[in-house]
Every structure is written in C-alpha cells, then in structure tokens.
Amino acid sequence: MKCELLLSLSWLLLAAAGSDVDSGGFGNVRIRRASIDVDDKAIGAADQHSIRDLPDCQDLRKYCTHQKTSDNLSMLECALSFSSSQLEALPEPCQHALWLQQRQLHLKSWVEHTLLPSYCAAEQGKLQSCFNSVDLWVCLEDQRQQLPQSNICQQQLRRAYAAIGPDYANIADFYTACGSLVEQQKCGRMNVEHLPSLLSQLGTAQCLMAHANPATPIDMNCKVAVNAIELQRGMLELFRVCADDLTALCPQERPGTPSGYKCLVRHKNDPSLRSQCATQIALRDQQIGRDYRVSHGLAKSCKDDIKLHHCRRGVSEDKQVRLAQILLCLESVSKNGTKLAPECLVELSDHRRMLMTDYQLSPELLSDCADDIPKFCPEQHKAQLVNGFSGSGGEIIHCLFEHVRARRAQHRVTSQCQRGLERLIKVSDAGEDWRVDPVLRRACKPVVDVACKDVEGGEARVISCLMERIGTPVMQPECEQALLIIEYFVARDFKLDPQLYKHCRDDAIKYCRAKRQWDDVQDVQMDPERGPLILPCLHRMAYSDDERQTLHKDCFREVKRVMRQRAISVDLMPEVEDYCLSDLSQYCGEHTEKGSEMECLQNKLEKLQPECKSVVTKYTEEEAANVELNPVIMAVCSEAMQQHCSDILKAGTDNGNMMDCLISHKNDADLRKDLRCRAAIEHFQIISLKNYHFTTKFKEACRPYVSRHCAASATKNEVVACLSEVMRNDTIKAQRHQIPKDCRQQVKSQLYQQRESIALDPKLGNACKTELEQFCADQKGPGQVNKNELECLIQNTPRLGKACHHAIFLIKKSELGDSGTDYTLLNTCKEMVYKFCPNEESVKILDCLKKYKDDSSFDQRCHLVVVNRMIEQNTDFRFNPSLQSACGKNIDGYCSNIVATAQPNEELNGKVVKCLKDKFRQSKLDEKCAKEMIKILQEQALNYKLNPVLQHFCKSEIQELCKKHMDGDEHGQVEECLKAAFLKKQLINRECQLEVATLIAESKADIHVDPILETACTVDLLRYCAKVTSGDGRKLSCLRTLLKETPNSLELDCREKLERRIEMFRNADDTLAQPPEDMQQLVQQVVTSPARKFFLVILMSATGLVFLTGIFLGRATKRAMGLKNK
C-alpha cells in the first residue's frame, strides 16, 4: 500500500509542483532553468575530489563494491539505490557531498566541461545545440534516444538522467532558490524516505529551517520553495493516515490524487471516518484557509487567473494569502463579466462548498466566533472536539446563523461574529447555488426534485424557485428554515443575488452609489449602520415619478421579484428588522407564519418604539402602493386578482390600483365565498385606518389639504372626517370647494368603505361596544338592510348611550349629507340607481330615489332603505343639506335660539323644521326656503313617520285611533285619520291637538302640502286655477271661491274634501288661537285675523266714544272750577 501511495503521490506532486511552484501555485516564482545562478567553480572543485575518498563516506567503499568505476557519478548511483536505513546511516557531510553531486548534474557547466569532453567528444557539436534550449535535459534526452545503445555517450547520458530523476524540473527550482544557502549551511541531505518529486528535498529543507537565524536569514525565493515542500509533506501525511479510510469510503479513487482528497473531504463528517483521519483533514482545512496554495487543485487550476487578475493584491511571494481573498477575487472577476477557466470554476465551486461545510476553513470565523461557538452551539462544538466532526456537515455554521437572527439581544452572536458570518456567505457565494450549503442542500433536495426540477441551475435560479414556493403545500419546514437563513444575508447585500446584480448593477451604480466592483474591500453594506442599502434605493427608483430616473426593464422586473420574495419575513427586510428587534421580541414572538411578523408590527403600530414605528409606517406605505409586498394577499387572493384585476396585472404597475380593485370587488359573489382572501383584504383595510398614508390614492390626492385643514388629525378616519366636514360646509354655503375633485372622490370612497363594517371604524366600535352586544349581537350580514351592525345602531338611536349616540350622529350626518358614502343605500339600491338615476351625481342619489320610490317597479328593499333615510333626515335639519342650503338665512333669522341651545352631536328631533313650518304657515319664508319646505311637508303628509314631532306628541292617539293605518301607511292615511279625529274632538292630548291643528293650518298656506286634497282637486286646479300663482294659499283661495260661488262646478270628491278642510280650518284656528302675551303679539293677531275690519270698527268706535266723553267731562269740570272761584 505504501508503495502504491508513493507512486500516486509522485504523479500528484509532479503535476502540482510542475505548475504550482513554477508559476505561483506554491510560490508564484518562475525561474528559467537554463540560467541557474550558482558558483560553478565551487561545484567544479567538489567534482575534482572523489566522494569515495572523503573520510565521512567510507560506507560507500563498503556498499558500492559492485560499481565498475569509482567516479562521483557512480557513487551517486550507488547511494540512490540504498535503503532508507542505509541512507540514514550515512553521515551528514557525506550526504551533503552526494547532494552537491546530484545538484551538479543539473548544471550546464557540468555537461559542457565534464560530460561532453570525457564521453561525448564525437557528439559534442550536435549536443551543444541543447545549451540554448529552455530545458537542457529534455533536449539531451531527446538526442540520447537517437544514439545507438552501444554508444558510450548514450550510456553516460542515460546514467546522468537517471541520477537526476524524472522530477528533476521541480527540484531544479529548489536548487536555484536555495543552493547557495544549502552549501553555506552544509544542509544537503539525501532522500532518506524515498519521497517523490519535491519532497525528496525534505531533509535539506528541514536542515535549512533548523539553521535559520537573523544572522543567516532565508531569502524570499528559498523560503517559498521550502514552504512548498512543507505543504506537500502535509498532503503526504494525510494520505498516509487516511489510507484505510480512502479505501473504505472512496474505493474508486487513487491515493494521492486531487479527486481522492476531495472525496475524503466530502466524507469528513461520516461517522465511519476514523478520528485520526478526520483530524488530518481538519488540519489541512485550516492550512487551506490560511494559505490557498495548500489546496493543490485550486492553485493549479486557477494559477493563470490568479496571476492575471492580481488576486494576491501585492502580497509578497513568501507570505501566505488566505483562501477567502483568492475566492473573493475570482468570484468578483466572474461576477463582473470576465470568464474564468472552466477547471478554475470547478475548483471555485468545490471550495465554496468546503467553506460552508467546515467553519475551520475560515480563520476569520475561528477567531471572530471563538466565544460564540461554545456559548450558542455547545453540543455541536463538543461533538467536534471529541470526534473531530460535527453531525453531517455545516451544523455549527447554521447554528451560528440561527443566532444571528435571534430576536433577543442576549441570544444573538456578537457583532464581530456576525461580520465573520457575513463574510463567509459572501466568500462562499451561498446565495448563488443552493448546493453550496450542505444543510440547505439536504433540507431542500426533496422540494427541488418536485417543485424546481425543470429550473436550470446557477445564478440563484433554483433558490428563487424555492422562495416562490414558501407558503405552498410543497414546501417543507426544514427547507424553509434553511432557505430563510441564507436569504437573511442575501437580503443585506444586493450583490449576493446574482440575477439582481446582473441586471441592476449599472442602475445601482448610477442611482444608489453602489461600487463598480463585486468585491470591493471598502464596500461593507450589510446593514444600515455601514452604508446605504442598495435594494430599497432601487425599489424607490422603480416607482419614481421622475422620468429621468427610471430603471432598465430587466432591473425593474428583478427588483419586483426580490421585493416580493423578501416580504415573506421581516428577517429579509434589514431596513425594518434592524430597528424593530426589541418590538418583535416583545410583541411578535409567536408569529412565525408567512408575512405574520409584519402584520403583527402593523397591528401594534401605536405601541412601537419611534424608530421602529417610522420604518414600519414607511414599509406599509410601500405595501399599500404595491400589493406584491403583501405576501398574505398575494398567497390567498391570486385568483381574485386574475379574475377581477387582470388589467392591472398586465400593466405591470400598481401604485395602489390593485388594492383598490380588490376592495371594490370584495363583496362580489365569488369573494364572499373566498373567506381567506376577503379576510386578508379587510385586515389591510383595518391597518390602513391607522394612517392615511397607508392608502396610496388617498395620500396622493389629499396630502396637501390634510396639512392645511386637518393637521391635528391622527388616524385616517379622523382625517377623512375632517376633510368631509370641510367639503360639507362648502356645499351648504354654496361656495367654491376648497378640496379639489380628486381628493373629494377619495374622501367619499373612504367614507363608503367605513360604512361597510364596524370593524373599519374602530372609534365607532369602541363607543358602541356595549350597545352592539345589547342590541345587535345577531346582526352579521354586511350590506343587508337592517342586518348589519351599523344599520342596527341607527335603528336603535333613541336607546343608545351618549357616546355611541354622538358617534352615530356624526355618521348619519355624513351619510345623509352625501349619498355616495352610504354603503347600505348604494348596495341595496344598486339596480334602482342604474334604472332611475343613471346619470345622477352620487351626492344626490337619495334625492333622486325619493322621487321614484313610489313607482310600481321600485324594489321594496331599496324602498325601505330610502324611507328610513328620509325619516332620519327629518329628525335634524343638519341631516338635510338641501334644507340647510335653501333655508340657511331663515334658520339664522327665526330659529337661531333652537340651534344655539342644542346639545352637540345630538338630534334636534325636528325642532328646527317645526320652527320653519310655523314661519311657512305665516308666509314669512323666502321663496327658495318655502319651496324646500313644501317638499318636506308633502313627504310628511304622506308618511307620518317623517314627522318626528307628530310621532312624539301623538304616539298614543296614533296607536289607539289609527292603528289600522300604521303598518302600511305611505299615502297620508295616518295623518288623515288624525285630522278626522281632531274634527270629531277625539284628540284629548293638548300637544297632539296643537300639532294636528298645525298640520291643518299649514295646508292653508299652500295646497301642495296637502297631497290628499291636491290629488282630489287636480282636475279642478288645472281647469280653473291653472293661471293662479302657487304660494300664500292662492290656489286654495281659488278653490274656496269656486265652492262659494259655483259649488257645482267642482268635482264631487274635490267639493266634499274641500268642505271638510274648511271646517277643519275653522277648528284649527280656534285651537291655535292663544291670548297674546304682549302688545306686539296682540297687534300681530289683529292684523292677521280674518275679522280685522271688525276689530278696526270697534277700535275706532271706542276711540270716538272716549273722545266724546272727554269733551263732555271737560266742560263739566270747567263749569265747576268757575263756580268755585266765584
């Protein structure tokens, strides 16, 4: 076995040293063998003395008697045939003399002055041509083979060539570099152990190292050569110790070959590997980490690329160059577009795998994580100390990776160790090939075989495929965990994502201050503290409004891909994770599902520390603008996006359009069944309530006006309410809108969304929590009339607590002020709006629907909603923008005391409308307000529920006297019933009598407010009173005149109802007549009385009587005074 091992090593070291030592594999020194700088005279002098005659070489006399001659070449030939024990027994001076003789054979001078004159005189002219060749002995050997076997020159050349050995070329460089020092120190030694190639000089090198001192230092070239020998000695020792293991684990491999060594490395964590062999491999790994030249395969395969691209970076040839530096340099060359030799790429891949398998290959990691490994990975560390291996490869590295991601500071590795791990990821380029990391490879192979089997390897394509499978059934937990660990580091350096770097390198340099070189020693940007994060910068550029700052198409695609993949975990968002560690630990420790950590931070936004709150807010804004950053929605709503929002997907840009589309369709039939997608959309809606910036379209349209009008508003709902109030006031005052159309539409859209569910209005939910449980526990169906919670609360307004009542008041004020925000109305009446009001502005939809609500084809569910809205409007004038606009001046003039004494955010229960009705009856309202009041009175006349004052004062009378008309009344039957009861003196309650009398009196002011009488007399009004102007009771006076003068001219129904109304008018006047409280009221009553002429005659008569009485009494008094004076 030993013989086979040595033969194999001879082949390996010949190949390795032939290239490595010559061109830099072990020393990066190349020396021309034809010009060896030695002292020829000294060598010649040595040759003049017979080695056999030296006192220290008497053993040669003893063992070399079989030699035909006793010249020095014969003695050398004899010594080379000695056994190891015989060579070891030779004294050192004799070994030195033999070494000098062997060295002499390499010299041109020996050939020219000794060999040729003595044995090749005839052939000298022909052989002298070899003196100018690159390799002297190659040329001489070629010439020798052309000579006859019997030729003495041929025989001497053969003897000399055999003495220098077949690997003379490697040894010649050692002779050149160290010959003078060997001669000076007398360190020439024979190859006692019969080692192959350069190792034949092991004894000589050891002697030089033993004699090295400041007085006689070893120069650089010699030191390089000595180091090369030591490195090869280590490989020899490794194969000697691991011979049995190689046979058992790698039977197909030959000892001493590069593939044999790589096979042992692959099996170094195999439990069957003996500890002695594992120790040798570990020592070898450490040597490779410190000096890349120890790895013969890498040094040989990449020698030209290392030299061409200056990967040693000026390090002198006698110094070690770490493996990491070489790998980074070669990877940088490859990443920047330069092709490396194929065999060099293979070695790169192998060494990257080795780095991820054994942390001891990285000297920096050994020192940087010296304290962290036993602290956080005690079991794996102990196994390695005891057995020489740990698990199945890479466990210690992955253990450290896990503690880089730990949430609590005490569980995280030191920053020094983290930097070392970051460098390991970069050197190994683990983000490029999933097979580099043994843990990732083992964990994800089953997933790759199923989900990514058709994906071409390289440039992180398989890793990207695996990232896309996270959250799907095919992904396995072990694979996901290992994958996210690698992606944690990739996310912190955009250069580690090959596709992203390839397509975005130029844009990153242009816009984001990225370095031009892949491996830039100054470019440390793994976290925000140490430089700009390139990917967030590219993401901003991807959606920049500046046309001069746009990414290339391929870069834009890659940025979208990476941002989408990163969104699955906060760990992959360094701009968030680095600021939110403590908050993640405190609030989100149990959230491990895809995207759940970010949702947790968003839910706890108000409680986060300022820096964390700021970055989460910023990310949520980006998420709102690009739904692909929301992994939950992307996972559960993909079908909905394809079905309802395909145009946005095709466009490739979002800017908030996708979320708006999903929200607008979430109540469609298919999404009502897709509970997961619907829940994800609603969750985002709830999150967006925390800040108006979380709704992209709203933010873009309204940001300047929020700052101007609503600076004190905190949440989005508060901002929306504030802007809505500004819009409402502008509408009521009929002034130019301060809020532009785009913003107004967004405000209405947000109000509409809020009305869908209590969950979207947290302020209302908190204010009405008790009432919801008490009155609306079973109201679940959104969008159904009287079935959702908001409608339930509105229906129970009189029973609500103060806080809830105030909140509902504001909602009713908003909904009734703008129908476009009334979710229930718009959804219930969707078909009726399309049929009757297709071109109507959304703000006026309720007014339009009022006109058609009694149409025979009008939907009953919509009819009920419209009537309910009309009832709500009549409880407070502030719920009726048309009334406010038309009657604002009259309200200020006649009803200001009612408004001034009103409680904030509480209904006035029709008090202002009643005030306006009184003034209407007295004809004091201006024309615009009077017309609006006619509409209200008409509606109230047809439906008593629209008159809250009447309902309040006549509640018992309605239930007792008009019960049969209550349920289906919308044709004025209840009011007509009350009027009849009033006429029959059946109304006992004084307030009810006055309210009904008021209704009767109002119809005197305008027949239009009495729809029953107007309907009965429609023909007569058209026939006889068409030219009479409406208002001030003129139409009614026309009919009364006709009734008095030509009663038979009127239709029978009109005549009967008119006669009945006139009787009601008299009774109402009597009921409404009240004693004046002051002179002004007295004068007012006289002036407005129908008998005012009679009162005038009485007043003048009384005045005349007083005058006459005064005259009579004046004369009597004068006569009495005259008699007294007499």
Whether the Cβ atoms of residue 125 and residue 117 lie closer than 8 Å to each other:
no
H helices of 242-302, where? Answer: 243-249, 258-266, 275-290, 296-301
The pLDDT of residue 3 is: 46
Determine the Cα–Cα distance for residues 862 and 866; give it in Å rounded to an integer: 6
Determine the Cα–Cα distance for residues 282 and 297; give it in Å rounded to an integer: 17
Please tell me the pTM assigned to this model.
0.63
Q: What is the 8-class DSSP label of residue 147?
A: S
Determine the Cα–Cα distance for residues 588 and 567; give it in Å rounded to an integer: 16
Q: At which residue do the structure tokens 């242009």 appear?
A: 510
Whether the Cβ atoms of residue 412 and residue 495 lie closer than 8 Å to each other:
no
Q: Kindly report the CA angle at 909 between 907 and 913, in degrees rounded to 5?
A: 110
Determine the Cα–Cα distance for residues 221 and 317; give it in Å rounded to an integer: 8
The pLDDT of residue 1125 is: 59
Please, is 520 exposed, middle or buried when counting C-beta atoms within 10 Å of its C-beta (0-12, 13-18, 19+)?
middle
Determine the Cα–Cα distance for residues 1097 and 1044; give it in Å rounded to an integer: 26
The pLDDT of residue 1088 is: 59
The pLDDT of residue 1070 is: 79
Q: Kindly report the CA angle at 50 between 45 and 53, in degrees rounded to 5?
A: 130
Terminal CA-CA length for the chain? 182
User: Angle, to 10 degrees, between the axis of helix 802-817 and the axis of helix 716-732?
Assistant: 50
Determine the Cα–Cα distance for residues 873 and 879; give it in Å rounded to an integer: 5
Q: How far is CA 845 from the centre of its chain?
A: 41
The pLDDT of residue 46 is: 43
Q: What is the mean pLDDT of each run of 10 residues along the chain (1126 residues)?
A: 43 40 35 37 50 86 81 86 86 89 84 85 84 83 86 87 77 82 87 78 84 78 78 77 86 78 78 82 78 79 84 68 82 81 84 79 79 83 57 73 81 86 84 85 89 83 87 87 86 82 85 74 41 72 75 86 81 81 81 76 87 89 85 85 87 83 86 86 86 86 90 86 86 83 88 82 87 78 52 86 88 84 87 90 87 88 88 86 88 88 81 86 86 85 84 87 73 85 86 87 81 87 86 84 87 88 84 65 60 70 80 68 60
Whether the Cβ atoms of residue 407 and residue 584 lie closer than 8 Å to each other:
yes
Coil vs helix vs strand at 372: helix
Coil vs helix vs strand at 299: helix
Tokens coding 183: 């001669």
DSSP characters over 433-502: -TTSSHHHHHHHHHHHHHHSTTSPPSTTHHHHHHHHTTTSTT--HHHHHHHHHHHHHHTT-GGGSHHHHH
Q: What is the 8-class DSSP label of residue 428?
A: H
The pLDDT of residue 320 is: 73
The pLDDT of residue 17 is: 41
Task: State the Cα torsion 32-35-39-42 to the nearest 10°.
Answer: 100
Q: Which of 906, 902, 877 is nearest to 890 (CA)?
A: 877
Determine the Cα–Cα distance for residues 203 and 708; give it in Å rounded to an integer: 89
The pLDDT of residue 253 is: 82
The pLDDT of residue 920 is: 85
Amino acid at 825: L
Residue 216 β-bridge partners:
213
Determine the Cα–Cα distance for residues 872 and 721; give it in Å rounded to an integer: 20
